[in-house]
Structure 1
Amino acid sequence: MSTSIDTITLGGGCFWCVEAVYEKVDGVTAVESGYTNGQVKNPSYEQVCTGHTGHAEVVRVSYDPQKIGLRDVLEIFFVVHDPTTKDRQGNDVGSQYRSGIYFRNPEQERIAREVIAEVNSHHGGHVVTELLPEENYSRAEDYHQHYFANHPDQGYCAFVVAPKVEKFRKTFASRVKAD
Protein backbone atom coordinates (compact mmCIF):
# COMPACT_ATOMS: atom_id res chain seq x y z
CA MET A 1 0.00 0.00 0.00
CA SER A 2 1.51 3.31 -1.05
CA THR A 3 0.82 6.44 0.90
CA SER A 4 0.68 9.70 -0.95
CA ILE A 5 1.72 12.84 0.83
CA ASP A 6 -0.03 16.15 0.14
CA THR A 7 1.39 19.63 0.71
CA ILE A 8 -0.19 23.03 1.38
CA THR A 9 1.56 26.34 2.03
CA LEU A 10 0.33 28.55 4.86
CA GLY A 11 1.18 32.08 5.97
CA GLY A 12 0.16 32.97 9.50
CA GLY A 13 2.65 35.61 10.57
CA CYS A 14 6.18 34.70 11.55
CA PHE A 15 7.01 31.32 10.08
CA TRP A 16 8.72 30.21 13.32
CA CYS A 17 5.31 30.17 15.04
CA VAL A 18 3.46 28.25 12.36
CA GLU A 19 6.33 25.81 11.80
CA ALA A 20 6.58 25.05 15.54
CA VAL A 21 2.90 24.12 15.72
CA TYR A 22 2.83 21.88 12.64
CA GLU A 23 5.96 20.04 13.73
CA LYS A 24 3.80 18.78 16.64
CA VAL A 25 0.81 17.67 14.52
CA ASP A 26 0.21 13.94 14.15
CA GLY A 27 -0.02 13.13 10.44
CA VAL A 28 2.27 15.96 9.35
CA THR A 29 5.34 14.45 7.73
CA ALA A 30 7.43 17.58 7.05
CA VAL A 31 7.37 21.32 7.65
CA GLU A 32 9.57 23.81 5.82
CA SER A 33 9.81 27.57 6.37
CA GLY A 34 9.98 29.70 3.27
CA TYR A 35 8.74 32.67 1.27
CA THR A 36 6.03 32.75 -1.39
CA ASN A 37 3.96 34.85 -3.77
CA GLY A 38 6.39 37.71 -4.18
CA GLN A 39 8.16 39.21 -7.17
CA VAL A 40 11.81 38.51 -6.27
CA LYS A 41 13.33 35.13 -7.14
CA ASN A 42 14.96 33.43 -4.13
CA PRO A 43 14.80 36.41 -1.77
CA SER A 44 16.81 36.57 1.43
CA TYR A 45 15.23 36.98 4.85
CA GLU A 46 16.58 40.51 4.98
CA GLN A 47 14.91 41.35 1.64
CA VAL A 48 11.57 39.86 2.72
CA CYS A 49 11.72 41.78 6.04
CA THR A 50 11.68 45.08 4.13
CA GLY A 51 8.15 44.29 2.97
CA HIS A 52 9.10 45.29 -0.58
CA THR A 53 9.44 41.85 -2.21
CA GLY A 54 5.75 40.98 -2.01
CA HIS A 55 6.56 37.67 -0.30
CA ALA A 56 4.79 36.22 2.70
CA GLU A 57 6.65 34.27 5.36
CA VAL A 58 5.11 30.80 5.05
CA VAL A 59 5.45 27.17 5.95
CA ARG A 60 5.00 24.28 3.57
CA VAL A 61 3.11 21.62 5.46
CA SER A 62 3.35 18.08 4.08
CA TYR A 63 0.86 15.66 5.54
CA ASP A 64 -0.45 12.13 5.16
CA PRO A 65 -4.13 12.37 4.11
CA GLN A 66 -4.67 8.90 5.57
CA LYS A 67 -3.92 10.38 9.03
CA ILE A 68 -5.07 14.00 8.77
CA GLY A 69 -7.16 15.78 6.18
CA LEU A 70 -6.68 19.25 4.75
CA ARG A 71 -9.75 20.48 6.60
CA ASP A 72 -8.10 19.52 9.92
CA VAL A 73 -4.80 21.12 8.86
CA LEU A 74 -6.66 24.36 8.12
CA GLU A 75 -8.71 24.27 11.32
CA ILE A 76 -5.45 24.16 13.27
CA PHE A 77 -4.14 27.05 11.16
CA PHE A 78 -7.11 29.25 12.01
CA VAL A 79 -6.83 28.55 15.74
CA VAL A 80 -3.12 29.36 16.07
CA HIS A 81 -3.11 32.71 14.27
CA ASP A 82 -5.42 35.72 13.95
CA PRO A 83 -6.97 35.72 10.46
CA THR A 84 -8.65 39.10 11.04
CA THR A 85 -5.60 41.38 11.14
CA LYS A 86 -4.28 42.57 7.81
CA ASP A 87 -0.51 42.37 7.39
CA ARG A 88 0.24 41.62 11.04
CA GLN A 89 0.31 39.04 13.78
CA GLY A 90 0.78 40.57 17.21
CA ASN A 91 3.84 42.83 17.13
CA ASP A 92 4.98 41.46 13.74
CA VAL A 93 3.78 44.06 11.23
CA GLY A 94 4.20 44.12 7.45
CA SER A 95 2.83 42.44 4.34
CA GLN A 96 5.27 39.55 4.87
CA TYR A 97 3.21 38.58 7.96
CA ARG A 98 -0.14 38.39 6.15
CA SER A 99 -2.57 35.54 6.59
CA GLY A 100 -2.64 33.33 3.51
CA ILE A 101 -3.37 29.90 2.13
CA TYR A 102 -1.44 29.08 -1.04
CA PHE A 103 -2.90 26.07 -2.79
CA ARG A 104 -1.53 23.65 -5.36
CA ASN A 105 -4.69 22.28 -6.96
CA PRO A 106 -8.44 22.94 -7.34
CA GLU A 107 -9.40 20.50 -4.57
CA GLN A 108 -7.23 22.34 -2.05
CA GLU A 109 -8.75 25.63 -3.20
CA ARG A 110 -12.29 24.24 -2.78
CA ILE A 111 -11.67 22.95 0.75
CA ALA A 112 -9.87 26.16 1.75
CA ARG A 113 -12.77 28.28 0.46
CA GLU A 114 -15.21 26.22 2.55
CA VAL A 115 -13.11 26.53 5.71
CA ILE A 116 -12.50 30.26 5.19
CA ALA A 117 -16.26 30.81 4.77
CA GLU A 118 -16.94 28.98 8.06
CA VAL A 119 -14.22 30.89 9.90
CA ASN A 120 -15.38 34.18 8.37
CA SER A 121 -18.90 33.52 9.62
CA HIS A 122 -17.52 32.87 13.10
CA HIS A 123 -15.51 36.13 12.98
CA GLY A 124 -18.37 38.31 11.75
CA GLY A 125 -17.03 38.67 8.21
CA HIS A 126 -13.65 40.07 9.24
CA VAL A 127 -11.32 37.34 7.91
CA VAL A 128 -8.59 38.80 5.67
CA THR A 129 -6.83 35.51 4.79
CA GLU A 130 -5.83 35.54 1.15
CA LEU A 131 -6.38 32.41 -0.93
CA LEU A 132 -4.11 32.17 -3.96
CA PRO A 133 -2.20 29.60 -5.99
CA GLU A 134 1.31 29.14 -4.63
CA GLU A 135 3.78 31.03 -6.84
CA ASN A 136 7.50 31.76 -6.66
CA TYR A 137 8.11 29.74 -3.49
CA SER A 138 11.62 29.52 -2.08
CA ARG A 139 12.94 27.79 1.01
CA ALA A 140 14.08 30.05 3.84
CA GLU A 141 17.69 29.97 4.99
CA ASP A 142 18.84 26.94 7.00
CA TYR A 143 18.94 28.83 10.29
CA HIS A 144 15.15 29.42 10.05
CA GLN A 145 14.34 25.71 9.75
CA HIS A 146 13.12 24.07 12.99
CA TYR A 147 13.84 27.36 14.74
CA PHE A 148 11.70 26.83 17.84
CA ALA A 149 12.96 23.27 18.30
CA ASN A 150 16.55 24.54 18.11
CA HIS A 151 16.08 27.74 20.17
CA PRO A 152 13.23 27.22 22.68
CA ASP A 153 14.75 29.60 25.22
CA GLN A 154 15.33 32.48 22.79
CA GLY A 155 13.15 35.44 23.83
CA TYR A 156 10.76 35.50 20.86
CA CYS A 157 10.36 31.73 21.04
CA ALA A 158 9.69 31.72 24.79
CA PHE A 159 7.18 34.59 24.74
CA VAL A 160 5.51 34.35 21.30
CA VAL A 161 6.04 30.89 19.79
CA ALA A 162 5.65 28.76 22.93
CA PRO A 163 2.16 30.10 23.78
CA LYS A 164 0.97 29.25 20.25
CA VAL A 165 2.33 25.72 20.56
CA GLU A 166 0.63 25.39 23.97
CA LYS A 167 -2.66 26.67 22.53
CA PHE A 168 -2.44 24.02 19.82
CA ARG A 169 -1.69 21.30 22.40
CA LYS A 170 -4.70 22.28 24.53
CA THR A 171 -7.15 22.84 21.66
CA PHE A 172 -6.16 19.80 19.59
CA ALA A 173 -4.87 17.34 22.20
CA SER A 174 -5.85 14.36 20.05
CA ARG A 175 -3.76 15.71 17.16
CA VAL A 176 -0.47 16.08 19.07
CA LYS A 177 2.34 13.79 17.95
CA ALA A 178 3.68 11.43 20.56
CA ASP A 179 7.15 12.67 21.55
Structure 2
Amino acid sequence: MKIETMTVGAGCFWCVEAVLNEIKGVDKVISGYTGGKAPGRPTYREICSGLTGHAEVVQVTYDSDIVSYQDLLVIFMTTHDPTTLNRQGADAGTQYRSVIYYHNEEQQNIAKVVLKELDAFFESPIVTELSPLGIFYEAEEYHQDYYENNTTNGYCSAVITPKINKLRSLYGNKLKA
Protein backbone atom coordinates (compact mmCIF):
# COMPACT_ATOMS: atom_id res chain seq x y z
CA MET A 1 0.00 0.00 0.00
CA LYS A 2 1.12 3.49 -0.84
CA ILE A 3 -1.03 5.93 1.16
CA GLU A 4 -1.29 9.50 -0.14
CA THR A 5 -3.48 12.52 0.51
CA MET A 6 -5.40 14.88 -1.76
CA THR A 7 -7.31 18.05 -0.81
CA VAL A 8 -9.98 19.52 -3.11
CA GLY A 9 -13.10 21.65 -2.96
CA ALA A 10 -16.08 22.06 -5.27
CA GLY A 11 -19.06 23.67 -3.63
CA CYS A 12 -20.56 21.95 -0.64
CA PHE A 13 -18.14 19.45 0.87
CA TRP A 14 -21.00 16.98 1.40
CA CYS A 15 -21.18 16.45 -2.38
CA VAL A 16 -17.46 15.99 -2.92
CA GLU A 17 -17.19 13.67 0.10
CA ALA A 18 -20.05 11.47 -1.15
CA VAL A 19 -18.58 11.18 -4.65
CA LEU A 20 -14.99 10.44 -3.65
CA ASN A 21 -16.02 7.96 -0.94
CA GLU A 22 -17.31 5.73 -3.75
CA ILE A 23 -13.91 5.35 -5.47
CA LYS A 24 -11.95 2.13 -5.19
CA GLY A 25 -8.69 2.80 -3.34
CA VAL A 26 -10.10 5.71 -1.31
CA ASP A 27 -9.67 4.93 2.36
CA LYS A 28 -11.08 8.01 4.05
CA VAL A 29 -12.66 11.35 3.11
CA ILE A 30 -12.78 14.09 5.74
CA SER A 31 -14.78 17.29 5.25
CA GLY A 32 -13.05 20.47 6.34
CA TYR A 33 -11.85 23.97 5.58
CA THR A 34 -8.67 25.50 4.21
CA GLY A 35 -7.39 28.43 2.19
CA GLY A 36 -8.48 31.24 4.47
CA LYS A 37 -6.66 34.15 5.99
CA ALA A 38 -8.67 34.65 9.18
CA PRO A 39 -6.76 33.68 12.33
CA GLY A 40 -7.71 30.69 14.45
CA ARG A 41 -9.85 27.64 13.84
CA PRO A 42 -12.88 28.59 11.72
CA THR A 43 -16.41 27.37 12.42
CA TYR A 44 -18.99 26.38 9.84
CA ARG A 45 -20.96 29.54 10.60
CA GLU A 46 -17.86 31.70 10.01
CA ILE A 47 -17.07 29.86 6.77
CA CYS A 48 -20.64 30.37 5.51
CA SER A 49 -20.26 34.13 5.98
CA GLY A 50 -17.61 34.13 3.27
CA LEU A 51 -15.50 36.49 5.37
CA THR A 52 -12.76 34.06 6.44
CA GLY A 53 -11.56 33.24 2.92
CA HIS A 54 -11.70 29.51 3.63
CA ALA A 55 -13.15 27.01 1.17
CA GLU A 56 -15.22 23.97 2.02
CA VAL A 57 -12.94 21.08 1.05
CA VAL A 58 -12.38 17.40 1.55
CA GLN A 59 -9.13 15.70 2.44
CA VAL A 60 -8.89 12.29 0.81
CA THR A 61 -6.62 9.49 2.00
CA TYR A 62 -6.13 6.90 -0.73
CA ASP A 63 -3.95 4.01 -1.85
CA SER A 64 -2.09 5.21 -4.94
CA ASP A 65 -1.34 1.60 -5.88
CA ILE A 66 -5.10 1.27 -6.54
CA VAL A 67 -6.10 4.74 -7.77
CA SER A 68 -3.79 7.50 -8.97
CA TYR A 69 -3.87 11.15 -8.02
CA GLN A 70 -4.47 11.93 -11.69
CA ASP A 71 -7.49 9.62 -11.88
CA LEU A 72 -8.94 11.12 -8.68
CA LEU A 73 -8.52 14.62 -10.11
CA VAL A 74 -10.23 13.68 -13.37
CA ILE A 75 -13.16 12.18 -11.45
CA PHE A 76 -13.30 15.24 -9.19
CA MET A 77 -13.21 17.67 -12.13
CA THR A 78 -15.88 15.85 -14.14
CA THR A 79 -18.38 15.40 -11.31
CA HIS A 80 -18.78 19.14 -10.60
CA ASP A 81 -18.83 22.27 -12.75
CA PRO A 82 -15.30 23.69 -12.73
CA THR A 83 -16.33 26.58 -14.99
CA THR A 84 -18.42 28.56 -12.49
CA LEU A 85 -16.52 30.99 -10.30
CA ASN A 86 -17.35 30.71 -6.59
CA ARG A 87 -20.51 28.70 -7.26
CA GLN A 88 -21.88 25.20 -7.52
CA GLY A 89 -25.60 25.18 -8.27
CA ALA A 90 -27.40 27.24 -5.62
CA ASP A 91 -24.30 27.32 -3.38
CA ALA A 92 -22.63 30.68 -4.02
CA GLY A 93 -19.68 32.40 -2.39
CA THR A 94 -15.91 32.05 -2.21
CA GLN A 95 -16.30 29.20 0.29
CA TYR A 96 -17.82 27.14 -2.58
CA ARG A 97 -15.03 27.73 -5.09
CA SER A 98 -13.63 24.94 -7.24
CA VAL A 99 -10.10 24.41 -5.95
CA ILE A 100 -7.25 21.93 -5.89
CA TYR A 101 -4.85 22.30 -2.96
CA TYR A 102 -1.61 20.53 -3.81
CA HIS A 103 0.53 18.92 -1.11
CA ASN A 104 3.79 18.90 -3.08
CA GLU A 105 5.36 19.86 -6.40
CA GLU A 106 4.43 16.53 -8.02
CA GLN A 107 0.74 17.07 -7.23
CA GLN A 108 0.99 20.64 -8.53
CA ASN A 109 2.47 19.44 -11.83
CA ILE A 110 -0.11 16.68 -12.26
CA ALA A 111 -2.95 19.10 -11.49
CA LYS A 112 -1.68 21.59 -14.09
CA VAL A 113 -1.68 18.84 -16.73
CA VAL A 114 -5.18 17.63 -15.78
CA LEU A 115 -6.59 21.17 -15.83
CA LYS A 116 -5.04 21.85 -19.24
CA GLU A 117 -6.20 18.55 -20.74
CA LEU A 118 -9.77 18.86 -19.43
CA ASP A 119 -10.25 22.50 -20.43
CA ALA A 120 -11.09 21.47 -24.02
CA PHE A 121 -14.01 19.33 -22.82
CA PHE A 122 -15.95 22.22 -21.29
CA GLU A 123 -17.85 24.94 -23.16
CA SER A 124 -16.54 27.63 -20.79
CA PRO A 125 -13.00 27.98 -19.42
CA ILE A 126 -12.12 26.10 -16.25
CA VAL A 127 -11.79 28.50 -13.29
CA THR A 128 -10.58 25.95 -10.74
CA GLU A 129 -8.04 27.50 -8.40
CA LEU A 130 -4.73 25.69 -7.93
CA SER A 131 -3.00 26.57 -4.65
CA PRO A 132 -0.58 25.10 -2.12
CA LEU A 133 -2.25 23.49 0.88
CA GLY A 134 -2.22 25.59 4.01
CA ILE A 135 -3.67 24.54 7.34
CA PHE A 136 -6.50 22.02 7.00
CA TYR A 137 -9.20 22.22 9.65
CA GLU A 138 -11.52 19.26 10.07
CA ALA A 139 -15.17 20.30 9.92
CA GLU A 140 -17.56 19.69 12.78
CA GLU A 141 -18.55 16.05 13.37
CA TYR A 142 -22.07 16.43 11.99
CA HIS A 143 -20.59 17.25 8.55
CA GLN A 144 -18.63 13.97 8.35
CA ASP A 145 -20.22 11.21 6.23
CA TYR A 146 -23.16 13.55 5.75
CA TYR A 147 -24.65 11.90 2.66
CA GLU A 148 -24.23 8.41 4.08
CA ASN A 149 -26.07 9.47 7.24
CA ASN A 150 -28.73 11.63 5.57
CA THR A 151 -29.57 10.15 2.15
CA THR A 152 -33.28 11.01 2.49
CA ASN A 153 -32.55 14.69 3.32
CA GLY A 154 -33.97 16.98 0.62
CA TYR A 155 -30.59 18.49 -0.28
CA CYS A 156 -29.03 15.05 -0.52
CA SER A 157 -31.82 13.73 -2.77
CA ALA A 158 -31.89 16.77 -5.02
CA VAL A 159 -28.18 17.61 -5.29
CA ILE A 160 -25.93 14.77 -4.16
CA THR A 161 -27.80 11.71 -5.50
CA PRO A 162 -27.64 13.02 -9.11
CA LYS A 163 -23.86 13.50 -8.71
CA ILE A 164 -23.54 9.93 -7.43
CA ASN A 165 -25.59 8.70 -10.39
CA LYS A 166 -23.34 10.63 -12.80
CA LEU A 167 -20.28 9.14 -11.10
CA ARG A 168 -21.68 5.63 -11.48
CA SER A 169 -22.49 6.11 -15.16
CA LEU A 170 -19.10 7.62 -16.02
CA TYR A 171 -16.77 5.65 -13.75
CA GLY A 172 -18.43 2.33 -12.91
CA ASN A 173 -15.11 0.51 -13.28
CA LYS A 174 -13.47 2.75 -10.64
CA LEU A 175 -16.06 2.21 -7.90
CA LYS A 176 -15.88 0.14 -4.75
CA ALA A 177 -17.74 -3.16 -4.96
Smaller-chain TM-score bracket: over 0.9
After superposition, what is the alpha-carbon deviation per residue over 1:8-48, rounded to whole angstroms, capped at 9, x for unaligned? 10011100000001111101011000000101321000000
Identify the residue that residue 38 of structure 1 maps to in structure 2.
36
1-structure distance, mates of 2:146, 2:112: 30
After superposition, what is the alpha-carbon deviation per residue over 1:120-168, rounded to whole angstroms, capped at 9, x for unaligned? 2222561100000011210000000000000000010010011101110
- Give me the TM-score of the superposition, normalised by structure 1: 0.96
Gaps of 5+ in 2: none
Aligned length: 176
Alignment match of 1:9 (pick from 7, 10, 15): 7
2-structure distance, mates of 1:68, 1:151: 27
2-structure distance, mates of 1:10, 1:161: 17
Alignment match of 2:24 (pick from 18, 23, 26): 26
Q: How does 1:93-104 map to 2 (within 5 A)?
A: 93-104=92-103
Contact 1:39 1:136 survives alignment (8 Å): no
Contact 1:4 1:65 survives alignment (8 Å): yes
Contact 1:102 1:133 survives alignment (8 Å): yes
- Give me the TM-score of the superposition, normalised by structure 2: 0.97
SS for the counterpart of 1:77 is: helix
Q: Which amino acid aligns with 2:61?
A: S
2-structure distance, mates of 1:173, 1:121: 23
1-structure distance, mates of 2:69, 2:103: 12
Q: Which amino acid aligns with 1:97?
A: Y
2-structure distance, mates of 1:102, 1:83: 14
Q: Quick check: 119-128 or 10-19, which moved more?
A: 119-128
Identify the residue that residue 126 of structure 1 maps to in structure 2.
125
Q: Which amino acid aligns with 1:16?
A: W
The alignment's C-alpha RMSD in Å is: 0.9
Q: Quick check: 88-97 or 120-129, which moved more?
A: 120-129
After superposition, what is the alpha-carbon deviation per residue over 1:65-89, rounded to whole angstroms, capped at 9, x for unaligned? 1000011001100111000000000
Q: Which amino acid aligns with 1:6?
A: E
Identify the residue that residue 146 of structure 2 maps to in structure 1.
147
Q: CA deviation at 1:176?
A: 1.0
Q: How does 1:19-168 map to 2 (within 5 A)?
A: 19-40=17-38, 41-123=40-122, 126-168=125-167
1-structure distance, mates of 2:19, 2:41: 25
